[in-house]
Amino acid sequence: MAGDLIQKLNMTAQRPMQIQKPAQNQPAATQVQTPIKEKGLEYLPAVTITPPNLEPTGIKPHSPAGRLIKENIFQSAVSTVKNYGNCAKYFYDAAFKGEGTDYSVGKINDLTVRAGSLGIAGILAATKAFPFAKGMEFVGLATWFGSMALWPRIIGIPIKAKTGVDINWKYEDSYGRRKPFLQDPQYLAWDLFRHIDKNGKYNPSAPDYEYLNKIGDKLGVPKNIKNRNEAIQDKIRQVGTQGNTLWMLTAGVMTPVISSIVADALQEPLSSGISAIRVKKATKRIDTLESKLNSILESKQPVEAEKLAESLGIVLDKKFTENLNKHLKPELSSAETKAFNDFLFNELGGTELINAIQNEMKGSTLVEKVLRFDGAMQDAVVKAMDERLSQIKASQFDTATGFLNTAFDKTLTILDEKKVAYSDETKISDLFKNLTIKEKQKVKISSINSLLEFKDKTVGEFKKAIASKDKKFFNIDYIDRIPSLTRADVDKAVNIGNFDNRADGLVGFGQSHTFGELRHIAGERIKSVAGDAKLTQQDVDWIAGQLGEAAQNAAKKYEVSLLDVNRAKKLITLAKVQMEAEKIIKELTKATIQDISESLTANNWQKVPQKYFKAMGFTKSEIRELATADVSTASEIVMRKFDAIASNPAKFEKVVKEISKYAQTAVTKEEKALLKLVGTFEKPGPLIKLKDVIQKTAASEGFSGNINGAVEKHFSRVARELQSKVKNTTNSFGKLIKALDSFRSIDKFVIQELGANVQEFEKLFDTQRGNDKFYTFKNFSYEEAKASFTKFLKRAFIENADINNWQTKFESALDGNPKGIKHSKELLMDLNAFMYGDLSESCSKLLPEELSKKISANSYEMGFRFISMNNKLFRHVSGANTNRAWGYIENMLGKYHNIPKMTANEKAEFTRQIEVVEHMIEARKFELDLGTINSMKEGIKKIKNGLVKYDAGFNPWDYKELFGKQLGEVRSANVILSEQTGKGITELTADAARNFRSRNKWMKLVWGLFGGTAAVSALVISQMGKKNYFNRDIYAKKEGLNANIK
């Protein structure tokens, strides 16, 4: 750069400070800078500034202390921390004192970027304690900052490999400021390289710039040129600029891409880890809770609601307790009552408990709208009635005479118009003599009749009476005589009305009776002062009603609610404790079964179908087809695959084994959680125990069965939901195995139903003419019937077997036969048995025993539910009460008496049947009441015992009613079937395909961006340091004394 420097010196020396003149006019510059032309190689010779042998005199400057930084990862970490320490100091100096340099203030930005990202990360991490989705976001952010720092290192590697230049070189200047070496291409501290030897180490004894020379060789700078050092430096600068620009060009794409890739790769291990932590944490809390529940249940002491929270180790929300105490007052105004009810709703709303509690409190714990007739209130009532009476007195004349006066005026106007003469002496009765009917109607007949009450008075008298408001004239002077009601009157009314025997107030009927009495008293008073006034009952009622209304309105302001504070506190606290305890239990639920987005289940659902998919051996083109196909095409593809697998025993074995492995994991995990939460009959889990504790407390506190029932119902629902979810998973996975298994025997089943050949088929029809199967296949040839029925069965297996589909299929699934299958009860039964029967023996053998049992049992249960459900199908199947469940039990009951004669094999088969029934009862444990279940279990136990020790005196038919009716009744009640059905096979597979494909697409996008950017980077890197438009690489050959020195 020395040559460069000279030019600058020359220029600045000859140019004034302001650039006022065009540079061309500077002869000196032209003079010095004449380029040398020699054999095509041109390079400007450097001119030494100072003669080499001239020693500087005077005060020596400090020797420079700058250095290149070479650090390993630990040293770099230490210096980073140190650096941040400096940054904090820089910040303090700048922000509080306003001291700083460009460097120090610039460094603050580094600190704040880190602090900001730390803040962001902290916020994201805290927003929800480690749930799945948020966790992902957190990883994304962490990887973002990671890859931001990483990318320049990555591109630095090939650049260094190709050119020897490291764009990440850093140096520390004499003031200890750290900077990237190549950051400012106009200011490069080349001196720092003077003593760096060819190995990149600091070595003062090595030839100057040895390292740079080595880089120069790599960069292909000709050796035999003038000022090679300078040429090399220019080249390095070129590479540095190119590298930095490439970094900036690609960082915007590469940072998000790398962070996406890393986040994606971390997703699985991290989410599994997070799930495991959550499950562990939740389990631990539940265990603590359970031990506390146990000790409460074991103790014989009654449980106090208010102490329950403490004994369960639950801390009730402070705000809740504060609010509760604030709202609990023995006497609540109507506003306070509303606030109290709102509070209840806010705290307990959305639970089954709120209604029960409100019912429980109604009328006993919380008595609303109570009126207490104490002094102040009675005074207010008296005052209100008095005021109303005054109002009536003041306005009554106008009210009573208004209409008369109008009619009177109207009449006079009409007479004036007709020019009929009248005078003040004219009697009122004479006024109407000259009016036609029409004119009378105009005045209003009823008003005329009222006016005729004064027929003996003259017009003048009437006018005078109106003008002077003469009440006597109109017979309403009694109004002025109506006396006000007194405290004594109110007392009398209250005492008559007090039906409630409540010294402290009146409610409901008592209130209305009191006000009725007040009205009555008022009425009596009015009548007593009526004198000779013609008083109608209507008039009396109206005035008395007005007074009564005034009294009621005045009283209403004194309405209060009476609250049994202790009992209310107990009720509400108990409900709150239940909610809080449930929250603890639900943490595990969320982590394992329920909340699909953030649980183990979610992971299973995401991963397992993918694995299924692989196990079944779908090809890439099939995946593509499946992913984009509609339902019917998709089911065709799946059907083809199933056929292929079913027809090849070796393949079948492999696929089933593979699938069962994944199914086992998924099902076991969920069942384990269910077992942990709900438990079994013999060993109930914390959820049931919590229910028991709440019920025990309710009983100790003497709450009604109302509360007990609500609690029972609530927990049943929670448990049922959990169970449905687990069944859903089991069915989703089990169905696949069951379908594969059944595909192998569809042909056999079809032949069994339709006969082995045309003759048998026809014979079937001949012998069973009138049979419903006959109608189902009426217009089919044997081949057609076979094909159609086979296809129907396959689709029934493969497509979504939920309620709707089943209904539709049974209606019209066979093409060409509008009557469908539903008309054949026999066919339906067989079909149900086939579809929802046990796994075949050969298939069961391939599965773990437990899973095989589970799948069989579940499959059986679904069959039981489907065939007996209350749908259209049901109506068409006569005698449908003989459902399969009952059939099973009947079979079992009937067989009991044969036990002594049974062979071992028969006994085993019998045991199996009993176990199925047991499973059914177990499955329905939340739908039946406890008594029924216990009786059933008792019956089963006895039948089972009979296998070991036969009891001739035991009559199993005693249980017929119980099993037949009860099980039958609940078969469809309380269960949302679609919650349990599981995913249809086609849906499962197509979803997996779509999942697979869009994931591939995403991968392609991300990796495509990665590849594209990497390619651009590679291309740019390949051109780095090369001669180009900006860097023409024109060198001058070495000459003079040193020409031959290399």
Partner 1 sequence: MASISTVNGANFDNNGISAMPQNQYFSKSASFGKKDKKIVTPEEYRHDEIVGKNPVTRFLVNAEKTANIPLVHFPRGLGGAPDYTFYEFLQTAKFPFYVGGPILAALFYAGIKFDAFKSAKPAKKVAKHMALGVGFYYLGTMLAKSLVNTTLKLSRGIDLNQPYRKIIPTSTNQTGFFQKDIEYHNVMESIDFTRWDLLYENGENTQQINKNYNKLAKKYGLKDSNPNDADSTLKPLIRKTIAMGKAWQYALTACFVTLGIGMANQKAWESDNFGGFRNQFDELVRNKNLPDKQRLKNLWKLTEDYAVKPFGKSFMEFWHGQNKVTSIAGKATILTTAAALVLSNLLILTKTSARNFNTERTTGNKPQEVNKK
Q: Residue 208 CB, nearest distance to partner 1 (Å)?
A: 20
Nearer to partner 1, 22 or 56 (CB): 22
The stretch among 2-10, 851-859, 888-896, 908-916 that binds partner 1 (CB under 8 A) is 2-10
Cβ–Cβ under 8 Å, residues 921 and 936 = yes
Element (H, E) at 653: helix 649-677
Pick 786 or 983: Cβ nearer partner 1: 983
> In this chain, which of 82, 128, 223, 487 binds partner 1, going by CB under 8 A?
128
- 620 interacts with partner 1 by CB under 8 A: no
**Distance of alpha carbon 467 from alpha carbon 294, whole angstroms:** 91
By CB under 8 A, tell whether 140 contacts partner 1: yes
Tell me, residue by residue from 219 to 238, as one string, x for binding to partner 1 by CB under 8 A and - for no binding: -----------xx--x--xx
For partner 1, which residue of 55, 1032, 1040, 1044 counts as binding (CB under 8 A)? 1032
Tokens of 190: 């080349």
Closest approach, Cβ 27 to partner 1, in A, equals 9
Look at the block and give the residue holding tokens 């504070």.
565
Compute the distance between CA of residue 86 and CA of residue 277 in angstroms, rounded to an integer: 39
Q: Euclidean distance between the first and final Cα of the chain, in Å?
A: 20
Q: Closest separation between CB of residue 408 and partner 1, Å?
A: 56
Residue 661, Cβ density class (10 Å: 0-12 exposed, 13-18 middle, ≥19 buried) = middle
Q: Which of residues 955-974 bind partner 1 (CB under 8 A)?
A: none
List CB contacts of 1034: < 8 A, sequence separation 6 or more: 41, 42, 43
DSSP 8-state class, residue 362 = B
Nearest-approach distance from CB 351 to partner 1, in angstroms: 20
Nearest to 556 by CA among 279, 369, 801, 422: 369
Query: Which residues on neighbouring strands pair with residue 679, listed in sequence order?
Result: 684
Q: How far is the CB of 227 from partner 1 (least distance, A)?
A: 9
Q: Which of 68, 69, 124, 644 binds partner 1 (CB under 8 A)?
A: 124
Q: Which residues pair with 556 in a beta bridge?
A: none
Q: How does DSSP classify residue 563?
A: E
Give the Cα separation of 27 and 23 in Å (integer): 9
Which parts of 145-164 interact with partner 1 (CB under 8 A)? 148
Site for partner 1 in 584-613 (CB under 8 A): 596-598, 602, 605-606, 609
| Min dist. Cβ of residue 219 to partner 1 (A) | 12
Choose between 33 and 399: whose C-beta lies nearer to partner 1: 33
DSSP string, 672-707: HHHHHHTB-SSSB-HHHHHHHHHHHHHHHTT--HHH
CB 772 within 8 Å of CB 827: yes
Q: Which of 779, 776, 780, 787 is CA-nearest to residue 751?
A: 787
In the list 129, 276, 315, 976, the residue contacting partner 1 (rule: CB under 8 A) is 129
Q: Is the Cβ of residue 40 or residue 702 nearer to partner 1 in the bound state?
A: 40
Site residues for partner 1, window 243-282 (CB under 8 A)?
244-246, 248-249, 251-253, 255-257, 259-260, 264
Cα separations (Å) of 336 from 339, 556, 559, 562?
5, 14, 11, 11
* 1005, 1015, 1018, 1043: which one binds partner 1 (CB under 8 A): 1005
Contact stretch for partner 1 (CB under 8 A) within 185-193, 211-219, 369-377, 581-589: 185-193
Question: Contacts with partner 1 in 814-843 (CB under 8 A)?
Answer: none
The secondary element (H helix, E strand) that includes residue 572 is: helix 565-592
Question: Cβ of residue 315: shortest distance to partner 1, in angstroms?
Answer: 12
CA distance 898 to 572: 57
Beta carbons within 10 angstroms of residue 339's beta carbon: 15
Considering only 122, 176, 220, 402, the residue that binds partner 1 (CB under 8 A) is 122
* 579 contributes a contact to partner 1 by CB under 8 A: no
Binding of residue 41 to partner 1 (CB under 8 A): no
CB closer to partner 1 out of 33 and 295: 33
Nearer to partner 1, 103 or 957 (CB): 103
Of residues 355-374, which lie at the interface with partner 1 (CB under 8 A)?
Answer: none
Q: Which of residues 524-553 bind partner 1 (CB under 8 A)?
A: none
From residue 223, give the alpha-carbon distance in Å to each of 239, 628, 831. 19, 64, 92
In 10 A of CB 92, how many CB atoms? 13
Give the Cα separation of 760 and 765 in Å (integer): 9
Element housing 132 (H / E): helix 132-163
Q: SS3 of 244, please?
A: helix
CA angle 668, 672, 677 (to 5 degrees): 150
Q: With contacts defined by CB under 8 A, name the span among 366-374, 407-415, 809-817, 993-1001 that binds partner 1.
A: 993-1001
**Contact flag: residue 136 with partner 1 (CB under 8 A):** yes
- φ, ψ of residue 179 in degrees (nearest 5): -145, 155
Out of 26, 79, 80, 323, the only residue in the binding site for partner 1 (CB under 8 A) is 26
Examine residue 116 and tell whether it contacts partner 1 (CB under 8 A).
Answer: yes
What are the DSSP E strand ranges found in 393-449? none
Q: For residue 625, count other CB atoms closer than 10 A to its CB.
A: 17
Which CB sits closer to partner 1, 119 or 531?
119
How many residues bind to partner 1 according to rule CB under 8 A? 114
169 binds partner 1 (CB under 8 A): no
Residues 390-429, mask of contacts with partner 1 (x by CB under 8 A): ----------------------------------------
Which residues ranging from 280 to 339 are in contact with partner 1 (CB under 8 A)? Answer: none
Q: What is the largest CA-CA distance in the chain?
A: 157
The single residue among 9, 81, 88, 126 that binds partner 1, judged by CB under 8 A, is 126
x/- site string to partner 1, residues 76 to 115, per CB under 8 A? --------------xx-xxxxxxxxxx--x--xx-xxx-x
**Nearest residue (CB) to partner 1, 162 versus 481:** 162
Shortest distance, position 1020 Cβ to partner 1, whole Å? 6
Interaction of residue 647 with partner 1, rule CB under 8 A = no
Nearest CB to partner 1, comparing residues 663 and 933: 663
